Structure formats: structure tokens, C-alpha cells
Amino acid sequence: MFMQSQDKVDVVRASTATTTSHDVRWRDIKTLSNWSTVTADEVAKLIGSAPCKTCSLDPIPTWLVKEMRGLLSHFISLLF
């Protein structure tokens, strides 16, 4: 039987509702303080090397992102 995503979430929440809370200790982590530029070619290469996996929850299918990477990579490189 096929289970909808929300149903899966509800099942997990119900099965863990009585679990006691875990005390998470605070730890100091290093932050990223230096940024380097990324080129449109580097972004296009990364998109092209990504696996072709798509979930029904993805707003855009992977094949479409990969097909449009030449156009998208310029905008993504400007963001980063």
C-alpha cells in the first residue's frame, strides 16, 4: 500500500511520542569566515555531476535542472 508523505511523518511522530528527550550538549563549532568565488562553469559542472534522483516533493525534477544548467549556473554563481 502506498503511503503519502504526511502519513509517514504522522506514523514516525506517533511512534516516537513517548521517547524521552535527549540532552544535547552545547559545543563550540568553527564558522566559515572566508568565501571564495565560484564560476558559472564550476556550478554547471557540479550540477552535471549530481545524481539523477528526483522525489515527488522536489519542486523541479533533476533532469530539468541538469538540462537547464547552462542558464541556471550563471545566476547561481552570482548568488554565491
Question: Does the residue 29 lie in any domain?
Answer: no
60 phi and psi angles, rounded to 5 deg: -135, 130
Question: Do the beta carbons of residue 46 and residue 57 sit within 8 Å?
Answer: no
Q: Position of cell 544548467?
A: 69
Distance of CA 10 to the CA centre of its chain: 22
Range of the domain at 80: 37-80
Confidence class for position 41, pLDDT limits 50, 70, 90: very high
Average pLDDT over residues 33-52: 92
Confirm whether 71 is domain-assigned: yes
pLDDT value of position 9: 87
Evaluate whether residue 1 is within a structural domain.
Answer: no
Domain-located, residue 43? yes
Q: For residue 20, is it within any domain? A: no
On whether residue 56 sits in a domain, the answer given is yes
Number of domains in the chain: 1
Higher local confidence (pLDDT), 35 or 44: 44
DSSP string, 51-79: -----TT-SS-HHHHHHTHHHHHHHHHHH
Residue 18: helix, strand or coil by DSSP? coil
Instruction: Write out pLDDT tens, residues 50-73.
Output: 998 888 888 899 999 999 999 999
> Given this model, what pLDDT does residue 2 score?
58
